[in-house]
Amino acid sequence: ICNGFQILLESGLLPGTLIQNQSRKFICKNVSVRIENSDTPFTRRCEANQVLEIPIAHHQGSYYIDPFSLNHLEENGQILFRYCDEKGNVSAECNPNGSVDSVAGVSNEQKNVMGMMPHPERCADPQLLGTDGQVIFQSLISND
How does pLDDT run across 20-58, given as a tens digit for each residue? Answer: 999 999 999 999 999 999 999 999 999 999 999 999 999
Model pTM score: 0.94
Name the residue type at position 20.
Q
**In the sheet where 27-35 sits, what is the strand order?**
51-58, 27-35, 79-84, 103-107, 114-116
Radius of gyration of the chain (CA): 14
The catalytic residue among 53, 59, 72, 121 is 121
The catalytic residue among 2, 46, 94, 123 is 2
Q: Is 68 helix (H, G, I), strand (E, B) or coil?
A: helix
pLDDT digits (tens, 9 = 90+) for 57-78: 999 999 999 999 999 999 999 9
- CA–CA separation, 92 vs 107, rounded Å? 22
Is 119 one of the annotated active-site residues of the chain? yes
The catalytic residue among 36, 46, 58, 119 is 119
> Which CATH number does 3-141 carry?
3.40.50.880
Indicate the helix (H) or strand (E) that contains 55. Answer: strand 51-58
Query: Looking at residue 105, what is its pLDDT?
Result: 99
Is 94 one of the annotated active-site residues of the chain? no
pLDDT digits (tens, 9 = 90+) for 126-140: 988 789 999 999 999
Q: What is the mean pLDDT of residues 108-117?
A: 98
Query: Degrees (nearest 5) of the Cα angle 25, 31, 37?
Result: 120
In angstroms, what CA-CA distances link 43 with 10, 24, 25, 51, 124? Answer: 23, 31, 30, 12, 15
Is 58 one of the annotated active-site residues of the chain? no
Which has the closest alpha carbon to 138: 51, 47, 49, 73? 47
Query: Looking at residue 144, what is its pLDDT?
Result: 66
Dihedral pair phi/psi, residue 17, rounded to 5° = -150, 165
- CA–CA separation, 126 vs 7, rounded Å? 29
Which has the closest alpha carbon to 109: 51, 62, 69? 69
